[in-house]
Chains A and B, each alone.
Chain A
Amino acid sequence: MSTAATRAGGRRRGRTAPRRVPYVFLAPAVVMFVLFLLVPIGYTVYLSLRRVHISGLGLGRGARAEAFVGLANYRAVMHDGEFWHGALRVLGYGAMLVPAMLLLALLFALLLDVPRVRLARFARIAIFLPYAVPAVIASLVWGFLYLPSVGPGQYLLQKLGGSPVDLLSPTTIYFSLINIAIWGGVGFNMIVMYTALRAVPQEIYESARLDGASETQIALRIKVPMITPALIMTAVFSTIATLQVFSEPFALRPLTNSMSSTWTPLMKIYQDAFAHDDIYTAAAASVVLAAVTLVLSFGFLRLVQKRAFGQER
């Protein structure tokens, strides 16, 4: 080390106090967070408190004025039957989807974790791959498969003497949507659970085997309890994704008469903002939806926190 270098180092330290350094490192993340999360949220809240007032025909200059209306937009959302019907539909959809998807993901993860399983790597990728397909594209492809006159399954059914099944009727649409969501979502959840399983120390299984436990017993009595945190995390993520389901129903909607364009809360928000040009009601509904999502996911976390993370405290 030359004296020059030492001196340079000393000077640098003198200019920037060490306690500021962490903030410099944090700055990019904080700036991004503020710019792309806090500012848009703030703007949404601002918009949700405003409304346009038009006078007369609304043509010509000065006929349109924006004004603060307090919580009027929120009152409108609270009394909006279609929005809450959408929420009910989504609850029904989620009540069937989330358990089915997570159980299937858990089953796959446990099967892949069994010692001496064959084709594990291939199966893992095959199950995960649909997750890489964008939801809109997946929904379009599934939608085409569902249509009676173009779906190959429907074609085979008719060749075998059956009549085509309407997979897009007001009731079957739920299962058609759930099918798409499971197809696309199982892989991700399976990987999360599988990764958690691999992190479990092997000695535990060894001692269990010495005690005479079967693979099924190991799976149910040891593996599942050991990965509870991963199960909870996937449950929270799936719940949030379900409450905000949009792409799948939005892509299927043009193919059928049996679904409204306000079928889910987020579709209603989209409809208000981009079909009705009512960005203010849409903003208020977005805030309500975000709040409900937040309450539900934090509520669920609090409920299971003791059981799941108790031992880590």
Chain B
Amino acid sequence: MKIHTTAKLLAAALGVSLLAAGCSSSSPSSSSTANSNQKVELSFWTWVPNIDKVVALWNTAHPNIHVTASKQAQGDEEVTKVLTAAKAGNPPDLFQAEYQALPTLVSNDVAADIKKQTTAVKSHFADGVWQQVTLGTDAVYGLPQDSGPMMLYYRSDLFTRYGLAVPKTWDEFAALAKTVRQKAPKSYLTTFSSADPGWFAGLTEQAGSAWWSVNGSTWKVNVNDAATKKVADYWGNLVNTGVIDKQPMYTPAWNKALNDGTLLAWPSAVWGPGVLAGNAADTKGKWTMAPLPQWTAGENKTGNWGGSSTAIAAKSKHIDAAVQFATWLNTDPQATSGLVTQGGLYPADRDAQSGPALASPPEFFAQQTDFYQLAKQIADTAAGVTWGPNVNVTYATYKDAFGKVITSKGAFTSAVDTMQQATVDDMKKNGFTVATG
């Protein structure tokens, strides 16, 4: 316990060296790229379920570039592992990276710039998605794999029972939240979660926030911009007047509330049906998906919650071969349909979004037959976003700062100011050139 941190480090280092031993014995000694009579071995870290079945398709069709996928923990844990492996000099050739983690990986010199190999496939992706792999620069640091355009899920059965209309704007949403409290005093329209910064970030993107941007060689940081404060203030009023719930998402209590109808709606992302099926199994067929409420009536905008890309290690000996595989994985119809059916992803590739694999709705939403047609329309309206090099700090601060204002019934905008302060302080401490405002 005393050496918790170091023990973890050491364990990681040991794991990496073992892995390195495994790799070096199987990969060819030459450092040249894919060559017709030479077999290339690529390692690929990912957490997509059943990815090995998709990779197997590639391996049969490409005997000279063999990819070995190894399953990883989702999200930040994998990033930490990739960073450690790269520090030890043995990163995997390819790895899955959430969009907001890319800048951290790039600034650690872990992810390669693959601009020249990927100019042809840019048109496969919506602009908002593509922006997330360029970080607002001229480079390209990964190929988009899946995206998480946000939408509203609501209990259509309870909406009918209480005589509620689906809100088109956030004003209607707030009014509806009050109505729900009157008609069903034990229920709430939804909850504000201090545990999910990605959710909040997506909501502010819809309002037009730009937390980071690049200006020459300077980072502009604006986590507390007007759009973000507007969103924070909106939710703060709802929470502090008791009109909506304030419990964190992804707890047993939250699952129960979704399951027994205590929570009537969930602003979430396109992957929501999978979560509802797993966490609120009793409500099958009772939910309906609609576009997120808008800030101005008649608009069509949304943000992204989650989504990831396939990045290539800067230290990989076979960058060209790796890009070839990553391109296939994320744009080839056979591969993307595998990602959808086997991995349960919502593909970033625009053709795949209307492909045969998404022709019928998710099983949990069987009654909403046009689910994916509507989802594609919404996906095209997702705002672009530039992530900064320390999203991890901003996100970690979100959890504590919002936890605090919720407990003390404080102003939500002050939590946003805390996030800005922590983000800028961390960047300055590390030497980044930063401008604010």
Binding site for B on A (CB under 8 A): 36-37, 39-41, 43-44, 52-61, 63-64, 144, 147-150, 169-170, 240-241, 244, 246, 254-262, 266, 269-271, 273-279, 282-283, 286, 290, 293
Please judge, given known A-B contacts A149-B257, A150-B252, whether A275 and B392 are in contact too, CB under 8 Å.
yes
Asked whether, in the complex, the Cβ of B404 is within 8 Å of the Cβ of A260, the reply is yes
A232 to chain B, nearest CB (A): 20
Q: Is B403 an interface residue (CB 8 A)?
A: yes
* Interface positions of B from 403 to 437, Cβ below 8 Å from A: 403-404, 406-407, 426, 430-433
Residues on the B chain within 8 Å of A241, using CB: 1
A273 to B8, CA, bound (A): 10
Asked whether, in the complex, the Cβ of A270 is within 8 Å of the Cβ of B5, the reply is yes
A279 to B430, CA, bound (A): 12
- Option from A41, A43, A57, A270 in Cβ contact (under 8 Å) with B214: A57
A-B contact pairs, 16 of them (CB 8 A): A36-B10, A41-B3, A56-B218, A57-B217, A59-B135, A64-B109, A241-B1, A244-B1, A254-B195, A254-B248, A257-B402, A258-B403, A261-B396, A277-B390, A278-B426, A286-B5
Asked whether, in the complex, the Cβ of A262 is within 8 Å of the Cβ of B262, the reply is no
Residues on the B chain within 8 Å of A262, using CB: 400
Residues on the A chain within 8 Å of B106, using CB: 59-60
Q: Is B118 an interface residue (CB 8 A)?
A: no
A290 to B4, CA, bound (A): 11
Q: Is B162 an interface residue (CB 8 A)?
A: no
Asked whether, in the complex, the Cβ of B9 is within 8 Å of the Cβ of A43, the reply is yes
Closest A residue, CB atoms, query B215: A57
Asked whether, in the complex, the Cβ of B3 is within 8 Å of the Cβ of A244, the reply is no
Q: Is B331 an interface residue (CB 8 A)?
A: no
Asked whether, in the complex, the Cβ of A57 is within 8 Å of the Cβ of B432, the reply is yes
A255 to B195, CA, bound (A): 9
Residues on the A chain within 8 Å of B246, using CB: 257
Q: Is B363 an interface residue (CB 8 A)?
A: no
A260 to B407, CA, bound (A): 11
Residues on the B chain within 8 Å of A60, using CB: 106, 109, 113, 139
- Option from B250, B252, B432 in Cβ contact (under 8 Å) with A56: B432
- 12 additional A-B pairs beyond A54-B389, A59-B107, A63-B107, beta carbons within 8 Å, are A40-B3, A40-B7, A44-B5, A56-B218, A57-B217, A57-B218, A58-B389, A144-B252, A254-B251, A255-B253, A257-B194, A274-B76
Asked whether, in the complex, the Cβ of A277 is within 8 Å of the Cβ of B4, the reply is no
B220 to chain A, nearest CB (A): 11
- Option from B3, B108, B390, B406 in Cβ contact (under 8 Å) with A257: B406
Q: Which of B103, B392, B400 has the most CB of A within 10 A?
A: B400
Closest A residue, CB atoms, query B10: A40
- Option from A37, A54, A59, A276 in Cβ contact (under 8 Å) with B392: A276
Asked whether, in the complex, the Cβ of A286 is within 8 Å of the Cβ of B83, the reply is no
A188 to B426, CA, bound (A): 43
Q: Is B62 an interface residue (CB 8 A)?
A: no
Asked whether, in the complex, the Cβ of B83 is within 8 Å of the Cβ of A277, the reply is yes
B325 to chain A, nearest CB (A): 24
Minimum-distance CB pairs A-B, first 8: A40-B6, A58-B107, A257-B403, A56-B217, A275-B396, A54-B431, A147-B253, A260-B400
Please judge, given known A-B contacts A255-B248, A262-B400, A276-B393, whether A57 and B433 are in contact too, CB under 8 Å.
yes
- Option from A54, A258, A273, A293 in Cβ contact (under 8 Å) with B5: A273
Asked whether, in the complex, the Cβ of B3 is within 8 Å of the Cβ of A57, the reply is no
A43 to B352, CA, bound (A): 49
Residues on the B chain within 8 Å of A57, using CB: 107, 137, 214, 217-219, 389, 432-433
A39 to B13, CA, bound (A): 13
Kindly supply a per-residue 1/0 record for chain B positions 249-273, scoring 1 wherever the CB is within 8 Å of any chain A CB and 0 otherwise: 0111100110000100000000000
Residues on the A chain within 8 Å of B404, using CB: 257, 260
Closest B residue, CB atoms, query A36: B10
Residues on the A chain within 8 Å of B400, using CB: 260-262
Closest A residue, CB atoms, query B249: A254
Residues on the B chain within 8 Å of A41, using CB: 3, 6
Residues on the B chain within 8 Å of A275, using CB: 76, 392-393, 395-396
A270 to B127, CA, bound (A): 37
Q: Is B156 an interface residue (CB 8 A)?
A: no
Q: Which of B4, B5, B194 has the most CB of A within 10 A?
A: B5
- Option from B3, B8, B219, B250 in Cβ contact (under 8 Å) with A254: B250
Asked whether, in the complex, the Cβ of B430 is within 8 Å of the Cβ of A44, the reply is no
- Option from B104, B139, B253, B407 in Cβ contact (under 8 Å) with A150: B253
Q: Is B376 an interface residue (CB 8 A)?
A: no
Residues on the B chain within 8 Å of A39, using CB: 10
A9 to B14, CA, bound (A): 42
Residues on the A chain within 8 Å of B230, using CB: none
Residues on the A chain within 8 Å of B406, using CB: 257
Residues on the A chain within 8 Å of B407, using CB: 169-170, 257-258
A58 to B250, CA, bound (A): 34
Q: Is B53 an interface residue (CB 8 A)?
A: no
Asked whether, in the complex, the Cβ of B253 is within 8 Å of the Cβ of A59, the reply is no
Kindly supply a per-residue 1/0 record for chain B positions 213-227, scoring 1 wherever the CB is within 8 Å of any chain A CB and 0 otherwise: 010011100000000
Closest B residue, CB atoms, query A286: B5
Closest A residue, CB atoms, query B219: A57
A277 to B404, CA, bound (A): 23
Q: Is B80 an interface residue (CB 8 A)?
A: yes
Residues on the B chain within 8 Å of A59, using CB: 103, 106-107, 135, 137, 139, 389
Residues on the A chain within 8 Å of B253, using CB: 147-150, 255
Q: Is B2 an interface residue (CB 8 A)?
A: yes
Residues on the A chain within 8 Å of B10, using CB: 36, 39-40, 43
A273 to B223, CA, bound (A): 23
Please judge, given known A-B contacts A43-B9, A258-B403, A274-B80, whether A55 and B1 are in contact too, CB under 8 Å.
no
Q: Is B399 an interface residue (CB 8 A)?
A: yes
Asked whether, in the complex, the Cβ of A149 is within 8 Å of the Cβ of B5, the reply is no
Closest A residue, CB atoms, query B80: A274
Residues on the A chain within 8 Å of B251, using CB: 147, 254-255
Closest A residue, CB atoms, query B194: A257
A59 to B399, CA, bound (A): 27
Residues on the A chain within 8 Å of B4, using CB: 244, 246, 266, 269-270, 286
A68 to chain B, nearest CB (A): 15
A170 to B5, CA, bound (A): 27
Asked whether, in the complex, the Cβ of B9 is within 8 Å of the Cβ of A40, the reply is yes
* Interface positions of B from 310 to 331, Cβ below 8 Å from A: 314
Q: Which of A59, A63, A246, A293 has the most CB of B within 10 A?
A: A59
